[in-house]
């Protein structure tokens, strides 16, 4: 059995693309895009005088709050340049928790399955798994730039 399929099977519903497809995409979402290379990236959250920024390499992206920065960091790590974000900002923090937990569990499973192997083999395995995650997220898609507002609303007269 291929190691990517093995890790995906062990994670089950906690597989990162599965969370994205089943918990995030059914919500009312807007698409976000960030200019990141399609590879594993080191992403850090910086606290500046002007607010919170997500830094990937030399690029910095302003974020409205910490929850959004944490949410965007997951997609920046796997190299997804376009992804969906919940329109309701109260849901972003819980979804960021789910995505970060999935990411950490995946890293632990990779370390457990590649224990004792050469460093090059471990990095190739990790790259293959991250590529599979990125491909599945891109297949699911980022959706529309703005969500559809098809609900009845009351307006002042």
Res 151 pLDDT > 80: no
Q: What is the pLDDT of residues 72-96, one digit of tens each?
A: 999 999 999 999 999 899 999 999 9
C-alpha distances (whole Å) from 93 to each of 31, 69, 73, 99, 153 are 17, 10, 12, 10, 27
How large is the average pLDDT for residues 26-51?
93
Query: Considering the chain, what percentage of its residues have pLDDT values greater than 70?
Result: 92
Would you say residue 49 has pLDDT above 80? yes
Residues β-bridged to residue 86: 29
Give me the mean pLDDT over the 53-73 stretch: 95
Q: What predicted TM-score, i.e. pTM, was given to this entire model? A: 0.88
């Amino acid at each position: 059995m291929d190691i990517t399929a093995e890790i995906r099977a062990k994670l089950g519903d906690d597989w990162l693309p599965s969370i994205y497809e089943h918990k995030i995409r059914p919500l009312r979402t807007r698409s976000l895009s960030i200019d990141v290379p399609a590879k594993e990236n080191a992403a850090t959250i910086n606290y500046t005088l002007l607010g919170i920024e997500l830094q990937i390499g030399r690029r910095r992206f302003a974020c409205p709050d910490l929850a959004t920065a944490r949410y965007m960091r997951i997609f920046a790590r796997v190299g997804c340049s376009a992804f969906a974000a919940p329109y309701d900002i109260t849901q972003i923090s819980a979804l960021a928790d789910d995505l970060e937990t999935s990411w950490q569990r995946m890293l632990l499973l990779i370390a457990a399955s590649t224990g004792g192997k050469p460093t090059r083999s471990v990095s190739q395995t990790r790259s293959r798994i991250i590529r599979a995650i990125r491909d599945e997220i891109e297949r699911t898609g980022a959706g529309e730039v703005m969500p559809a507002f098809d609900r009845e609303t009351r307006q002042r007269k």
